[in-house]
Amino acid sequence: MPIIYHDISALQAALQSYRGHQNDSQVGLKRIALVPTMGNLHDGHLELVKIAKQQADIVVVSIFVNPTQFGAGEDFDSYPRTLDEDVEKLATVEADYVFAPSIDEMYPVLPPPTSVLAGAITAQLCGQSRAGHFDGVGIVVSKLFNIVQPDMAVFGQKDYQQLAIIKQLVRDLSYPIEIIGAPIVRAADGLALSSRNQYLNAAERQIAPVLHRELQYMVQKLKSDDQREQDFGSLLAETHQRITEAGFIIDYLEIKTDELEVVANNATASTVEHKNLIVLVAAWLGRARLLDNQLVTVNQSF
């Protein structure tokens, strides 16, 4: 069973024993991995821990519902908090430590007067409808990096924009941390696993896999010969219509480069210079805001 810490100082003291001491050859250094979560864990989270276990000696899983990344009217108060069940699940994948701090422990002053801003990358996609969200992500991830001082950290690719922002943060703030992006874990019908999937009622759960199927359709079209002269805007428009007709309210549906650079709507598969693309979608289905994305390499023979 993983050891649970609620206090920053206690966790740091426990981890210090794995770091060794300068000029002490008797103490072996251990590679420490961090898996940040907001809890209510599912198989996608457990896959992150499994990847961390393959890469590191010690795995710390943080469980903290971070208030700074929730906007007004969002589900901070109702977000499921299931610490006991989470710890039991983490025991099955051999996580070593759980860091589950209180809000007061993480933020002596709330809202915190210090900001960690990520620039233009935050102004698109989720950042357009969730003002301040990534500022909150920036500060909580920075704090977790400083608290745990891991050698590596694992994040899921379902939150593709968040992963890109964290990579930028590590680069720009010179954190000596390797960031690993883990592939999306899906249900058998293709729905990307998410804690917010539980907001779906039975009828909505039957509809939800449409999102993944439509992204797959777009990927196939982008790779196909008959798509090479059709502009991306037309493909987006027809897919947008089908997703909407299925019952979703679309926040965004976009084609970008894998570095989240803008691709013009009048671009085609035969004219785009950057061949590594990503199709991203966020859409509401009832109370659930669902995210998904698909990477695609356009046929290089064009």
Active site residues: 45
| 193 known member of a binding site | yes
Would strands 249-257 and 276-285 be described as parallel, antiparallel, or unpaired? antiparallel
| 31 known member of a binding site | no
| 42 known member of a binding site | yes
Q: Are 206 and 72 in contact (CB under 8 A)?
A: no
| 69 known member of a binding site | yes
In this structure, how many other beta carbons lie within 10 angstroms of the beta carbon of residue 13? 11
| 136 known member of a binding site | no
| 266 known member of a binding site | no
Q: Are 277 and 263 in contact (CB under 8 A)?
A: yes
| 162 known member of a binding site | yes
**Quick one: which of 280, 130, 289 has its CA closest to 204?**
289
| 66 known member of a binding site | no
- Listed in sequence order, the residues at least 6 apart from 63 whose beta carbon sits closer than 8 Å to its beta carbon are 37, 38, 39, 41, 83, 86, 98, 99, 100
Give the helix ranges, DSSP H, for the chain.
8-16, 43-55, 83-92, 103-106, 126-129, 133-148, 160-172, 202-207, 210-223, 232-245
| 128 known member of a binding site | no
| 200 known member of a binding site | no
> Residue ranges for the binding site for beta-alanine?
69
> Residue ranges for the binding site?
38-45, 69, 156-159, 162, 185, 193-196
